[in-house]
Structure 1
Amino acid sequence: MTETTFLSFLAPPFPYFIEGNLTTYKKGQRHPNRYNLGFFDVIIMKEGSLYLGEENKQWKLLPHDVLILEPNKHHFPVEPCTEDTVFYWFHFQTKDKWCVQKEQKPLEPDQPVPTLHYYSDNNTVHLPKHQKLGNPNELFNRLDLLLKSTVKIRSLAFWETQQIFMQVLQCLENDQHNQSSNVKLAEQIEIYIKQNYKEPITNKSLAAQFHVHENYLARCMKVAFNCTPLEYLSNYRIEQARLHLLKTDLPLHLISEEIGFTRLSYFSQCFKNKYGVSPANYRKQYRRDRSGVGSGTGGQVP
């Protein structure tokens, strides 16, 4: 990774999310020419190329590039897009100290906070001004969740949006340190499996999703979790099934379908291999209908 400057933020308080979206520019379109936007503008490239400038600096942004444009500076297009271009963007701001620096030095608060037994000292969040993502899929997944949260009822979505935004900032800060880490890729696979376990997942589809060879995926998962991706998937599905057995009255065939198994017999065998009993007997061990009548076929049990 080429040398870059860092935007360093004193936290807490943490930067907060304002707005964002996924945008497509057609060939020939340009980024807006703007002065003094008033908040940070983050560009995360997904496809194509974008030509941007800020004051006396210029960048050609390609897939998986991230650029943070600063408040109160001139942002301008250098030239039009030469192809259809897709990128995420979001705006954020902070109420506390921040600065641009070449080294990741901690910032000191202007007014020290008295030390209490429950108080955590200030930290400094360092976000690269410009970086190439080593593992973009985790960030893309987080950004998709972030954007989905913004179209929910505001009173319900406020906490969810800001929490996911913190995860986005963490991805941007951590990616620079973990681009070659096998464990980091394994964690990406773990997140993908947890988000998509209900869908058909194979070694081939995972290799396509993460753009690496199937054998490399298996090695990374073995290092981090001592199992292959498909073993992790099966274990996670079985854990979800266990929760359904304890918390719902769904019949076994619906639970099997809900967690991604295509055959009830295979689901039952996998469950028994892990817990030593069949799904039906597991439910009987931990669930008792107080009325003395057998379980129903639907409804959520608190």
Structure 2
Amino acid sequence: MLDDIEAEEHAKLLWDDGLIAKAFKYSRCQRDFINPGRSLFDFLAEKAEDIFADEPAKVAYRKRQTLLLVARMWGSYIGSPVEKQSLRYFWLEECIDDATTANLAAHQPPPGETDPHYPGFTHWLAPAYAPDTNPERWNQEGMNLVTLPPSCAHPTLLFYIYGPCSKYIAGIVTEAESESERDAQLLDFFRPYYSLLPNYDHDDPRCQPKAVLATAWANDEFAGYGSYCNFQVGLENGDSDIEVMRHGMPERHVWFAGEHTAPFAALGTTTGAYISGERVAARILKAHGLKEDRR
């Protein structure tokens, strides 16, 4: 368990104006010169070597390793491990425009009025204590939905999984011979993590899950086997690829809309998905000789 001071230290090093921001700037300014094989993790590991230089060698090493473990949370943003995030096209992930961020900032409490940890979020870093169910030590991230506003709060733990871990969970869901077997295996997988949350008591029935729900998109052919647009190492022309997908095949009456056909400034966002839908609708109307009705 990281203490609050160290947890806040790592958060500031990554976020705020930290390593993630530096990686965005580097990718944006140097993208034509970055080897397509370099990943975001390569960049973070390189920069981490210059951090904690004033600490004793063993402490500095441990903190650098912890910082890189915390950085793995980026995987849940892109649906793929951070080692697969293209550094060359990382700039395409810098997608929240000023108006969106300004709206969010207006709803944040003043500095000093929040704890270092958001109370509804827990990150388990490369857990080594579940070798039977998680020998690869996939990190886990959970949201406690009790901490939502009272009107919509409910006692649910929502785990974000991605990459090989999501494939493994999908296998449990689709291969179990019964619902009871499926639920038992899912709970066996997640119990090592939720059982470490504050105030958990194995003997208290209030701490025992009443139901479990898991998606299996990674095994669903109609969901592209869990496909999700992201920018992986080895990508040569990521921005051009988006433009081609955004254009679609209008000559065959095929148009694409969605968060990764949006303007570059809003890729991967709900705002971008909405904008792309509006643009495609306008193109379809034009193709059929119809005018937009903006009422």
Q: Which has the larger radius of gyration?
A: 1
TM over 0.5: no
Relative to the length of structure 2, the TM-score reads 0.28
Whose helix fraction is larger, Structure 1's or Structure 2's?
Answer: 2
Which has the larger strand fraction? 1
